[in-house]
Amino acid sequence: MRELNPAVEVLLLQRRGDISAVEAASRLEALESRDFRREVRLLTRPQIFNQYNFGISGGGENYSFNTSLLYNTNANTVIGDDATQIVINTGGIFNFSDKLKVRSNINYTRSKANIGFAGADAATLINQESLLSRIVDDNGNRVPMQGLAGVQALAPASQVGSDLALAQGFPYPLTFNTLDEIDNNNNVNRSNNIRLQAALDYNISEDLTATASYQYEMNQARNQQVFNENTFVVRSLVTQFAQLDETTGRPTDFAIPLGGFLDVNTQESRSFTGRLQLNYDKTFKDGLHSLTALAGYEIRRTVLESNTVNRVFGFDERTLLGIPVDLTTTFPLAIDDNGGSELIPNRSPNGSGLLFEENRFLSYYANAAYTFNNTYTLTGSIRLDDTNLFGASDEFRNIPLFSVGARWNLLQDFFYDSGVVNGLNLSASFGRTGNVARGSTPFLVGNIAQEMNLFNNRSAVIASPPNPFLRLERTSSFNLGLDFDFFTSNRVSGSVEYYRNESTDLLANLAVNSTLGINNNTQNVGALTNEGVNAVLSVVAIDTEDFKYTTTGNFSFNVNTVTKSDVNPNDVNNLLGGGILEGFDRNTIFSLNYAGLDFEGAPQYVAADNTITDFTDRPLQAEDLIDSGTTVPRFFGSWINEFSYKNLTLRTLTTFRADYVFRADPESGLIFDPGTVVQSPTLNAGRGAAQRWRRPGDENLTRVPRIPTLEEVFEDRFNLFPFADDHIARADHIRLNQVILSYAFPEKFLKNTGLQSLNIGLQADNVAVWNFNRFDVDPEAFIERPLTLSLQISTSF
Amino acid sequence: MSCSRENFLDIQPLGRFIPNTVEDYRLLLDNVNGQPVDGQTITQGFNEKHLLPFLVTDNIGIFEGQPVDANLRSAYLFAPQLYGPQQEDRAWQLYYQQIFLANVILDGLNSVTNGTTEEIEQLRAEARLHRAFAYFQLVNIYGVHYDPSSANSDLGVPLRLGIELENVDLTRNSVQEVYDFVTEEILSSIEALPNTVSPNFSFRPSKAAAWGLMSKVYLFQAQFDLALSAVSNALNLTDGLTDFNQIDAVDGVRNFPPVPQDQEIVWFKDSPSDAILFELTLTDELLSLFDNDDLRNEWLTLLTISDDIGERPIYNAGEDNQNFSDGINTPDLYLIRAECHARLNNIQQANDNLNRLRINRFATDGYAPVAINNAAALLNFIKEERRRELFKSSDRMFDIKRYSRFDNDNITLTHEIGGDEATLAPNSPNWAFPIGQLYINQNPEIIQNPRE
């Protein structure tokens, strides 16, 4: 007897005749006011970050050092989810001679995080429950919940069902309540991170210097999760594996012993980086010619090892003892509709729990710039990155990328000493790069597994199928830019840049016909041009001794067009699923022109020839689709304002994105799709469920279809409803991202404290969003992003 | 520098590999269910079978109150589409994944770096056998039953034999072409296979398995002499049967032994019938075919279906040991041999084969051997025996199709659920499952089955 959706329960009671239709209607009405999304506030709190920073620096003629200590505490949205971190950083520079300098730095970070229940952000918690669920009743008592999360061995029981199980001799109550789970949650991550850096600078000659550097970083992390006997995971799994007496049905033995569970994971990552670089910097003839160049070589290796230790059962937190269980026998499940048998769940199906991943990288690079008379500059660069791309053929790696450019300092030629123009540069560049498809190779790649099947044999699966026709994606780019600085001291400054990129043999993951054996594959799908403008303007509006106001605007415009597509342009599924079409933006959303309901409440659409159809007589074709806009903003930018009065500074960051759209899909909860409800009855119905067509005549009042029968669910007319253009909305929005208020204590206050500086800052993130869509949601996060507050204190000695 | 660069970058990741040895391909061929460590897989393994044909028979019913999803319900009511236009057809996808995996292995075996010719040929033969099995299921699910007079033009399924993923023509081959391909593949592979495999390796094909599959292919074409010789070849290699007298009932159920110990399994293919939402709930018509002293009554258990329906017998003898084998099993082979003999008028041999099986299915002390002298009555009894013995296999759908085609048995299915009723007439084109609309949308050269 599982805990039911309260509305379903009322309807079942009515069907069984336990309550009258009137009573049922009034109970349903009472439920209408419930909304689990509000209930979730019991589990959440504002996010608060605190940051304290202490720094010491000093030095002498031949050496300098700095040390800092950083302490952070984060209290995250879900109660019980928090973290603390200590960072110690110390570094120094030693000048051994005019020619040789050594730099070093050591950084140590220790972190501890309490992972909240279900790992969770508020959105996860909401999605786990029916919208009609409650966490506590009107008297504040915790009540049984549905706990829809699929992780449990058993569906949470109702109070009656749980009491029955207890009376039958089962050891634990079987109800579920999220607050109980939060109380009993004990999931801790601890990690230690060490980073060592050393570098040697050597002046070979006046113009030529060499730098050798080395970095080693290691991170060790350990996750320990203790499930005590009050957690639902333990209660349900132990119950499920109880062995019952055949005649009485009472538990006589427990394949999983009573007691808690202990899960431990450890992980270690290491990386090594070495770099050798030569720098050349020379001017000739009193600065008429100047040449700078550098060339370097970098080698890097990263290793990630992890170990998922098998679960300890019957774990006692006081004695640290566990009880071994039989992981190789299938046990009949005590509470199972199908009367099935299962193995006790095992955390490391490959038998060892070990994973090892290593990556290696080599890079060679060189840049050079030549300037004539401080006015004309030519630049060139080349870079070659090589890695252990597993399974890659040689033609697939070793892709050198290069660029060449020129820059003209107009100040020198036209505005020298004008007094108004401080700087004016015109620049242009051209470059080419190549992109490799990571994760897809010309060769067949297998994955070895210890199969959890009846034979328990070793076997392998295909990790990626052979893809011998794959070509490199190549991109060439062209940039033209102008930067300027007017009046004194950067009073008005900024830049304008135009770019145009052309990509050929675009790589994309494409849906393919399952008849081929797989249903998606990375392929070269076409060509694309992408062009746009970026502009920055910064103005120091007020600049007095006490008061200063600076405002900076960033503005970008971007548009792309698919110039060639190798994908079947008539493949409707591909287009509805985000496929590309020649002549359109790569991120175009294709929709159906929705025509409302027929007199039986089924959806209808406007076809290409402007007739109204429900696609029962003929299938949907590509011509019937309409362009509903793109999912990527064409215009975007930011506006930063900084006011300072004496030692007090206020900084705001506002961003905007415009000219793009989003599609509200059934999972978002913003729309009601009757077909989804039939196919996945456990999902929460979205907005508009109450407006659905119910009786003839409703088609004049609503555009939401009726609930289809099980057969109709497969018909195009119902299937296509989520793709109706009614569900497209403008994603344009303005966001006040950040407000920072900071205060630097003046020196006279610090005189007797020994401190060099003391700063206090208060930062607020996700402050406000203005949207322009009819769903009235933040188009980038359908569930409101929580306001985050941070306190920062930093000092130096 | 170049040499050390190669050494530095050329590392073999642990847990992943580029197959190039016979051992590597052995691992890929031994993929039974396909559950990789990190959830990353494109294959289901070679030993999974289809589900929906279970619901297009007169053996298994859906009763009011049983939980069924839209796909199961559509199949049960012979609907014109079983899946939505964006949905994958599970059986189609499953078998074409197995076919692709076999194709990839066959392609890779051309450049294998070690192994004797015999080892390589055996691996090749195993891949071909798995592929042939998949095509044999596909052509019988999605095609009308083999008819010698029209098989050359009846729509079969696309024969996909390569590994390329772009610009592939997926035109459906004829039923005849698919049967010819399956036959040729089996016959050309038999020599390279081992005679038999031990029960704990029954997921690998053997000569016995190949002859067993071959006998079904011939039987489905009504080539009874060829089927008889093929099935005898198989039974000469392995003929084990489980005596259910020797199996003690637990909770009133005589369970099949665990798969790795089941000597009836010649070639393991896993029926998904336990994994999905519904139980194999037997129809009254099928239940009426069992005698009281038939031990197979104890393969069943009573399950409460709903308040309205109450309790009904469901198949339960596979549950405890998770034995839902539905590949090539010896009881099926004995019944094929009995059927071939009966059709070829070898009355005594037909009775012998029936009794050889049935003595393991009835209490030994009271067993009365079958002795039917009329060939037609004998054939009819064998057909009933197939239902009693093999109702836990979805092959009943194929059997009805072939009886209608060749014997004029005139079996009409009538299914009813929730007030909706549907019938499926003998030899109706609707016996061929509809092709998933998704695949036709993606490749319009795939022609949908006609319906009446």
pLDDT tens track for A400-412:
889 999 999 988 7
pLDDT > 90 in chain A, percent: 50
* Residue A646 host element (H or E): none
Cβ atoms of residues A187 and A115 within 8 Å:
yes
B148 touches chain A (CB under 8 A): no
**Nearest residue of B to residue A458 by CA position?**
B27
* Statement: residue A784 has pLDDT above 80: no
| Average pLDDT score over residue span A158-182 | 89
Residues contacting residue A773 through CB under 8 Å, at least 6 positions apart: A662, A729, A730, A731, A732, A779
pLDDT at A3: 74
Which residues pair with residue A105 across a beta bridge? Answer: A91, A197
> What is the mean predicted confidence (pLDDT) over A43-63?
87
The minimum CA-CA distance between A510 and chain B, rounded to whole Å, is 11
Nearest Cα of chain B lies from the Cα of A490 at a distance, in angstroms, of 49
Q: Which of B7, B23, B42 to mutate to test the interface with A (most CBs of A within 10 A)?
A: B42
Q: In terms of Cα–Cα distance, which of A437, A733, A779 is closest to A589?
A: A779
More confident residue, A148 or B338: B338
pLDDT tens column, B188-232 = 999 999 999 999 999 999 999 999 999 999 999 999 999 999 999
Query: What's this model's pTM, rounded to 2 decimal places?
Result: 0.82
Give burial (CB, 10 Å; 0-12/13-18/19+) of A348: middle
- Lowest-confidence pick of A300-314, A454-468, B187-201, B246-260: A454-468
pLDDT of res. A394: 61
Q: A749 pLDDT band (50/70/90 cuts)? A: confident
A&B contacts, CB < 8 Å: 241
Upper half-sphere CA count for residue A209 (Cβ side, 13 Å): 16
Q: Which of A463-467, A678-682, A772-776 has the lowest mean pLDDT?
A: A678-682
* SS3 label, residue B92: helix
A572 CB neighbours in chain B (<8 A) are 441
Contacts of A362 in chain B (CB under 8 A): 5, 8-9
Interface of B with A in 307-326 (CB under 8 A): 316, 319-323
Does the beta carbon of B419 lie under 8 angstroms from any beta carbon of chain A? no
Q: Does A247 touch chain B (CB under 8 A)?
A: no
Q: In the predicted model, is pLDDT for residue B243 greater than 70? A: yes
Q: Supply the mean pLDDT for chain A.
A: 88
Average pLDDT over residues A165-169: 90
Residue B311's CB is within 10 A of a number of other CB atoms, namely 10
Average pLDDT, chain B: 91
Q: Are B132 and B182 in contact (CB under 8 A)?
A: yes
Distance (Å, rounded) from C-alpha B377 to C-alpha A233? 59
Q: Who has greater pLDDT, B442 or B105?
A: B105
Question: Which candidate in A516, A575, A715 is best for mutational testing of the B interface (most B CBs within 10 A)?
Answer: A516
Q: What is the largest CA-CA distance in chain A?
A: 105
Q: How confident is the model at residue B37 (pLDDT cuts 50, 70, 90)?
A: very low
CA-based nearest residue in chain A for residue B90: A514
* pLDDT score, position A504: 92
Residue A194 DSSP one-character state:
E
Whether A460 sits inside 8 A of B24 (CB atoms) is yes
Question: Could you tell me which residue, A566 or B228, shows the higher pLDDT?
Answer: B228
Closest partner residue to A454 among B11, B86, B322, by Cβ? B322
Average the pLDDT over A576-604 and give the result.
93
Per-residue buried b or exposed e for A153-180, using 16+ beta carbons within 10 Å of the residue's own CB: bbbbbbeebbeebeeeebebbbbbbbbb
Q: How far is A354 from chain B (nearest CA, A)?
A: 10
Check whether A776 has a pLDDT greater than 70.
yes
Q: Do the chains contact at B97 and A246, CB–CB below 8 Å?
A: no
Asked whether residue A322 carries a pLDDT value surpassing 80, the answer given is yes
Residue A527: what residue type? A
Is residue B396 classed as helix, strand or coil in its secondary structure?
Answer: helix
Residue A98 has pLDDT above 90, yes or no: no
Which one of A340, A449, A619 has the shortest CB-CB distance to B36? A449
Q: Which of B1, B7, B11, B37 best probes binding to A when mutated, by most A CB atoms within 10 angstroms? A: B37
SS3 state of residue A6: helix
The yes-or-no verdict on residue A483 having pLDDT over 90 is yes
Q: Is the pLDDT of residue B274 over 80?
A: no
How sure is the predictor about A721, in pLDDT bands with cuts at 50, 70 and 90? Answer: very high
Task: Please give the distance of CA B439 from its chain centroid, rounded to a whole number.
Answer: 23
Alpha carbon distance B107, A462 (integer Å): 14
The two tokens of residue A61 are 């003629």
For residues B373 and B271, the answer to whether their CB atoms sit within 8 Å is no
- Asked if the Cβ–Cβ distance from A446 to B24 is below 8 Å, we say yes
CA dihedral B275, B277, B283, B286 (to 10 degrees): -10
Strand partners of residue A503: A475, A528
Block residue for tokens 């192994």: B115
Query: Which amino acid is it at A575?
Result: L
What pLDDT, in 10s, does the model give residues B415-431?
A: 998 788 999 999 999 99
Distance of CA B350 to the CA centre of its chain: 24
Task: Give ∠ CA A138-A141-A145 in degrees, rounded to 5.
Answer: 95
Q: Which residues contact A265 (CB under 8 A, 6 or more apart)?
A: A222, A223, A306, A307, A308, A309
The residues facing A771 across adjacent strands are: A733
Tell me if residue A198 falls in helix, strand or coil: strand
Token couple for A267:
């992980």
- What local confidence, expressed as pLDDT, does residue A123 receive? 67
Task: State the average pLDDT over residues A467-482.
Answer: 89
User: Which of A388 and A334 is assigned the larger pLDDT?
Assistant: A334
The three-state secondary structure class of B296 is helix
Predicted confidence (pLDDT) at residue B46 exceeds the cutoff of 70: yes
CA separation for the pair B324, B428 (Å, rounded): 30
pLDDT digits (tens, 9 = 90+) for A669-719: 889 998 888 777 666 778 888 899 999 999 999 999 999 987 788 888 998
Residue B403 carries which DSSP code? Answer: I
Asked if this assembly's ipTM is beyond 0.95, the reply is no
Q: Tell whether A360 is within 8 A of chain B (Cβ).
A: yes
Give the DSSP letter of residue A163: H
Which tens digits make up the pLDDT trace of A241-269? 999 887 888 999 999 999 999 999 999 99
Taking CB atoms and an 8 Å limit, are B96 and A517 in contact across chains? yes
Selected residue with higher pLDDT from A296 and A419: A296
Three-class DSSP labels, B121-172: HHHHHHHHHHHHHHHHHHHHHHCCCCCCCCCCCCECCCCCCCCCCCCCCCCC
Q: Is A339 helix (H, G, I), strand (E, B) or coil?
A: coil
CA dihedral of A773, A777, A779, A780, whole degrees rounded to 10: 170
The tokens describing A101, both together, are 């300098």
Q: Which residues of B touch A297 (CB under 8 A)?
A: none
Predicted pLDDT at A222: 96
Mean pLDDT for A451-466 is 79
Q: Quick one: how far is CA A782 from the chain centroid?
A: 14
Q: Which of A584, A541, A593 is nearest to A565 (CA)?
A: A584
CA distance B424 to B436: 20
For residue range A599-610, list pLDDT tens digits in order. Answer: 999 999 999 999
Phi, psi of A369 (to 5 degrees): -140, 135
d(CA B46, CA B202): 12
Provide the pairing of β-strand B265-267 with A648-658: unpaired
For residue B125, the model assigns a pLDDT of 98
Give the distance from CA B316 to its chain's centroid.
19
Distance (Å, whole) CA A412 – CA B50: 79
DSSP helix, strand, coil percent of chain B (3-state; round to 5) = 45, 10, 45
Please answer yes or no on whether A469 and B166 come within 8 Å at the CB atom.
yes
pLDDT beyond 70 at A271: yes
Q: Tell which residue, A582, A580, A579, has the closest CA to residue A564.
A: A582
3-state SS, residue A416: coil
A681 Cβ under 8 Å from any chain B Cβ: no
Helix axes B347-358, B375-390, angle to 10 degrees: 20
Of A303-317, A429-443, A554-568, which gets the smallest average pLDDT? A429-443
B40 close contact with A: CB closer than 8 A? yes
Pick from A223, A225, A235: which is nearest to A177 by CA?
A235
Instruction: Determine the pLDDT at residue B38.
Output: 46
> If DSSP states are collapsed to H, E and C, what string results for A231-280?
CHHHHHHHHHCEEECCCCCCEEEECCCCCEEEEEEEEEEEEEEEEEEEEE
The enclosing H or E element of B194 equals: none
Question: A451 and chain B: CB distance < 8 Å anywhere?
Answer: yes
**Whether B79 and A350 lie within 8 Å, measured CB to CB:** no
Burial class (CB in 10 A: 0-12, 13-18, 19+), B186: buried
B106-134: b or e for each residue (b if 16 or more CB lie within 10 Å)? Answer: bebbeebeebeeebbbbbbbbbbbbbbbb
Task: Say which range, A714-718, A729-733, B103-107, has the weakest mean pLDDT.
Answer: A714-718
In this predicted model, what pLDDT tens digit does every residue of A187-242 receive, in sequence order?
Answer: 999 999 999 999 999 999 989 999 999 999 999 999 999 999 999 989 989 998 99
